Amino acid sequence: MAIGPLSQVSVLAAEPQNRTTLKGNIHHSVCRWCYGDLDLDTLCTEGKKIGLKAIDLAGPKDWPILKKHGLDSSMCNGAEINLVDGWNDPKFHPVLIKNYSDMIPKVAAAGYKNLICFSGNTRGKTDEEGWQNCVTGLKQVLPLAEKHGVVLVMELLNSRVDHPDYQCHHTAWGVELAKRLGSENFKLLYDIYHMQVDEGDVIATIRKHHRYIGHYHTAGVPGRHEIDENQELNYPAIMRAIVATGFKGYVAQEFIPAAKDKLASLQQAIRICDV
């Protein structure tokens, strides 16, 4: 019996999977920028079918579309300057304080919780100088975040491959900053891809420092593509470790799809993480 074109077989095979109920132990999200060739309406519509509860790295202009689809904005953006000009440099504090003071109430009014921030590049600063500068700046906006129930979440990025000179490039650096700030409204975004590249020891790090982590990102290592068997990280084991900490936030897929069918890759990633 002829089975027809492969594309038809793939579609038919995917249909029952779309109707499968996920376990619910992981709250699934996806980073908007990884699917920039899809309009946001399409990403929301198709994402909901495969288990997404939220869209990550979405700003105010995106929120009405997310609300229309009943999706959360799991990590808001739009207050940062960029990845390299951040809280570790006092010359950027006036702009950052204004931006975050404006954005924090907007995030709260929209019913969201997390707002991303960045350390910035070292540009010759020592760890101590970076910590002190971040504390000085962030303490100007943390009371407002606490008042509105918004969490400022600093992303850990690798400095070895993707973001040379970025200061918050090790979990220990971010944890020390969190300890100095001493606020439940400051957390770390533990990007599993980035931290595997720069330090490894992912599961042990999550177990040790989970109280300081407010959000997770995924991607395959090496290459930052799909999180399947063609890369080195054991994502089901990592997800089980995250669940075991009692984490109730979001895990956002942030891999760059290499496959032609990007939504199929996203569906596969969600199922890999559904532990």
- Among the residues of 149-233, which ranges form H helices? 171-181, 192-198, 202-209
H or E stretch at 243:
helix 235-244
Cα distance between the two ends of the chain: 37
- pLDDT score at 6: 31
* Distance in angstroms (rounded) separating the CA atoms of residues 96 and 266: 34
Residue with tokens 């799991």: 74
Q: How confident is the model at residue 20 (pLDDT cuts 50, 70, 90)?
A: low
Task: Express each pLDDT in 51-65 by its tens digit.
Answer: 999 999 999 999 999
Task: Indicate yes or no: pTM above 0.85.
Answer: yes
**pLDDT tens for residues 218-228?**
999 999 999 99
Q: Quick one: tokens of 99?
A: 């931006």
Task: Please check the confidence at residue 210 and state whether its pLDDT lies above 80.
Answer: yes
Domains of the chain by start residue, with CATH: 26-272 (3.20.20.150)
- What CA–CA distance (Å, rounded) separates 28 from 227? 14
Mean pLDDT of 231-236: 98
Radius of gyration of the chain (CA): 19
What mean pLDDT is predicted for residues 77-101?
98
pLDDT of 13 over the 50 cut: no
